Amino acid sequence: MDAFISRKMSTVTAEVGERETTVVVGGGQAGFAFSAKLRELGYPGRIVLIGDEKHPPYQRPPLSKAYLLGETTVERLQFRPEQFYANNGIELRLSTRVLSVSRDHRSVTLSDGGTLSYDHLVFATGARPRRLPNEIGGGLASVHYMRTLDDADSLAAVCRGGRELLVVGGGYIGLEAAAVARKLGAQVTLIEAAPRILQRVASPETASYFRALHRRHGVDLREGVGLAGLTEAGGRIAGAKLTDRSTVQVDLVVVGIGVVPNQELAAAAALRCDNGIVVDAFCRTGDPRIMAVGDCASIPLDDALIRLESVGHAIEHAQTAASILMGSDQSYRPNPWFWSDQFDVKLQIAGLLTGYDRVVTRGAAPGPTSHWYYFGDRLLAVDAMNDPRAYMIGKKLIQAGRSPRPETIVDPAADLKSLLAA
Ligand code: FAD
């Protein structure tokens, strides 16, 4: 083991022993963050990180952005080179699926036929794309999803000028895929069954900004319209019938209609699940030896359970869980942040806008623009489009529980930075 580990050995708490094994199920953002942090904090036991994909843990956000555009490489997606895991005493088992968990025996069974005992078990199983039903063509070749590196590779191989792409779903994944496909020269139609794009995740104001952006770049964006069915000829997609009875000529489909948490293993082990594996503020399930982190976890926030799907949450939740396993008594409270790249616009979001009753806007499209969401006088969230300064300042204010007067936000002469000093 290298200096990375030994440097921190002195911080090891009395409760965690050298003979212990911590098994992490899922080699994605949260599984990596947990394992690396646990080792960094000086955990002296065995860490086994099990992932069913063949790639060492990698970042997903570029899959629907720079990677799909061909602007970055597989190596640059990986959090660390494979050697890192061996150097830091993290046993990385790739292409291996955890098939079941026995809480009585404190063990997991693996797709390679093995069994592994654990002292601590961490679910970092993420989420998977909701599938298009087969009845409307979901089983056809040329229907693509965007979750894994393999998904991105198979779409990148066929998405180019001359193709006619239908994007089903106007959430971030669908919108990002549409933007990349346009940049690559494809004709793009995007349909969203809800009354507007980003219905579940952003305000009408932010949706309007991105609707206009996509239309400016030639995306045929249709809202309140679902997919009635794909038509095929000779095993290939020939067109799409929409719920408004219109038809579109398409030969390629990307589906971005949301994700479902990978909670089945936990549910089969009789752990409570409710839109994710339910954990308390200390990342623990009902079994004190089992935690859940990242996209797969249903976490408490203000008397409700929520599930977050973002890099920021996956990292911070996982790192908090590692600290807790090492004896910290700091609970987890999310400080949500998120970003999305579409065409020449970077959207950055701080906070959660749930429950807002007022929104004020600084700037105007197509220049730097930010929407600030309030409940009463309390600032809840900021959406910033090409305005990193508004994002950074909004994020700091929200984290500090401070709320600037809306009149100051909309005043173009006001210096936002001064709000931090006030
Ligand atoms: P994942 O990264 O999904 O990792 C879970 C892993 O566990 C997967 O490899 C899965 O195959 C594996 N697994 C599941 N079950 C088992 C099992 N039984 N045995 C072994 N392995 C198993 N977030 C942002 O904040 N900003 C963005 O711009 C952004 N863009 C995104 C773009 C795309 C295309 C996608 C897909 C996601 C994007 N996200 C973005 C979301 C972000 O990537 C996720 O929130 C994050 O990856 C969640 O990390 P996780 O570890 O919880 O889950």
User: Do 38 and 97 fall within a single domain?
Assistant: yes
The Å distance, Cα 72 to ligand 1 centre, comes to: 19
Q: At 6, which helix (H) or strand (E)?
A: helix 3-6
Query: 107-110 and 115-117 as β-strands: parallel, antiparallel, unpaired?
Result: antiparallel
Say yes or no to pLDDT of 369 above 50: yes
Query: What was the pLDDT predicted at 364?
Result: 92
Query: What was the pLDDT predicted at 194?
Result: 98
Q: pLDDT tens digits, residue range 184-211?
A: 999 999 999 999 999 999 999 999 999 9
Locate tokens 């699926």: which residue? 97
Say yes or no to pLDDT of 348 above 80: yes
Strand, helix or coil at 1?
coil
Query: What was the pLDDT predicted at 3?
Result: 34
Q: pLDDT tens digits, residue range 85-120?
A: 999 999 999 999 999 999 999 999 999 999 999 999
Does 107 reside within a domain? yes
The Å distance, Cα 258 to ligand 1 centre, comes to: 13
The Å distance, Cα 367 to ligand 1 centre, comes to: 32
The CATH number that applies at residue 383 is 3.30.390.30
The best mutation among 125, 147, 150 to test binding of ligand 1, ranked by most ligand atoms within 8 Å of the C-beta, falls on 125
Q: pLDDT tens digits, residue range 41-56?
A: 999 999 999 999 999 9
The Å distance, Cα 309 to ligand 1 centre, comes to: 8
Does 334 reside within a domain? no
Cα distances from 56 to residues 51, 71, 86, 106, 316, in angstroms, run 8, 20, 12, 26, 20
Count, in order, helices (H) and strands (E) of the chain.
12, 26
248 with 239: CB under 8 angstroms?
A: yes
User: Do 232 and 143 fall within a single domain?
Assistant: yes
Does 250 reside within a domain? yes
CB under 8 Å to 36, separation ≥6 — which residues?
79, 80, 88, 90
User: Do 70 and 108 fall within a single domain?
Assistant: yes
The best mutation among 110, 311, 319 to test binding of ligand 1, ranked by most ligand atoms within 8 Å of the C-beta, falls on 311
Say yes or no to pLDDT of 151 above 60: yes
pTM equals 0.94
For residue 404, say if its preceding peptide bond is cis, omega within 30 degrees of 0.
Answer: no
197 with 232: CB under 8 angstroms?
A: no
- Mean per-residue pLDDT for 75-87? 96
Query: 297-301 and 304-306 as β-strands: parallel, antiparallel, unpaired?
Result: antiparallel
Q: Cα(9)–Cα(18) distance, rounded to whole angstroms?
A: 11
The CATH number that applies at residue 148 is 3.50.50.60
**Strand positions, DSSP E, 352-409:** 358-363, 369-375, 378-385
Locate tokens 């594996």: which residue? 277
User: Do 160 and 237 fall within a single domain?
Assistant: yes
Does 335 reside within a domain? no
Query: What was the pLDDT predicted at 233?
Result: 86
Does 339 reside within a domain? no
**Pick from 257, 285, 302: which residue ends a domain?**
257
User: Do 318 and 207 fall within a single domain?
Assistant: no
Report the percentage of the chain scoring pLDDT > 90.
90
Q: Cα(222)–Cα(224) distance, rounded to whole angstroms?
A: 7
Cβ 61 under 6 angstroms from ligand 1: yes
Domain that holds residue 240: 131-257
Strand, helix or coil at 199?
coil
Q: Cα(242)–Cα(31) distance, rounded to whole angstroms?
A: 40
Locate tokens 């994710």: which residue? 276
DSSP letter at 243?
T
Say yes or no to pLDDT of 11 above 60: no
The best mutation among 307, 310, 332, 383 to test binding of ligand 1, ranked by most ligand atoms within 8 Å of the C-beta, falls on 310
Query: Which ligand 1 atom sits closest to the C-alpha of 60?
Result: 43
The best mutation among 53, 60, 150, 259 to test binding of ligand 1, ranked by most ligand atoms within 8 Å of the C-beta, falls on 60
Cβ 26 under 6 angstroms from ligand 1: yes
User: Do 279 and 371 fall within a single domain?
Assistant: no
134 with 140: CB under 8 angstroms?
A: no
Cβ 64 under 6 angstroms from ligand 1: yes
Q: How many domains does the chain have?
A: 3
Query: What was the pLDDT predicted at 15?
Result: 56
Say yes or no to pLDDT of 241 above 50: yes
**What is the chain's mean pLDDT, rounded?**
94
Query: 46-50 and 90-93 as β-strands: parallel, antiparallel, unpaired?
Result: parallel
The Å distance, Cα 28 to ligand 1 centre, comes to: 6
Say yes or no to pLDDT of 227 above 70: yes
Cα distances from 63 to residues 175, 191, 295, in angstroms, run 13, 21, 17
Does 333 reside within a domain? no
Higher pLDDT, 16 or 319: 319
Does 27 reside within a domain? yes
Query: Which ligand 1 atom sits closest to the C-alpha of 31?
Result: 51
User: Do 67 and 139 fall within a single domain?
Assistant: no
Rounded to the nearest angstrom, the gap between the alpha carbon of residue 169 and the centroid of all alpha carbons in its chain is 16
- Mean per-residue pLDDT for 143-171? 96
What is the end-to-end Cα distance of the chain in Å, rounded?
Answer: 48
Cβ 321 under 6 angstroms from ligand 1: no
- Mean per-residue pLDDT for 284-290? 98
Say yes or no to pLDDT of 7 above 80: no
Does 338 reside within a domain? no
User: Band of the pLDDT at 421, cuts 50, 70, 90?
Assistant: confident
User: Band of the pLDDT at 422, cuts 50, 70, 90?
Assistant: low
Packing angle between helix 311-325 and helix 29-40, nearest 10 degrees?
Answer: 40
User: Do 115 and 225 fall within a single domain?
Assistant: no
CB under 8 Å to 76, separation ≥6 — which residues?
62
User: Do 278 and 223 fall within a single domain?
Assistant: no
User: Do 295 and 407 fall within a single domain?
Assistant: no
Rounded to the nearest angstrom, the gap between the alpha carbon of residue 310 and the centroid of all alpha carbons in its chain is 4
Q: Whose CA is nearest to atom 41 of ligand 1?
A: 310
Say yes or no to pLDDT of 13 above 80: no
Q: pLDDT tens digits, residue range 211-224?
A: 999 999 999 999 99
Query: Which ligand 1 atom sits closest to the C-alpha of 128?
Result: 3
User: Do 252 and 271 fall within a single domain?
Assistant: no
User: Do 354 and 406 fall within a single domain?
Assistant: yes
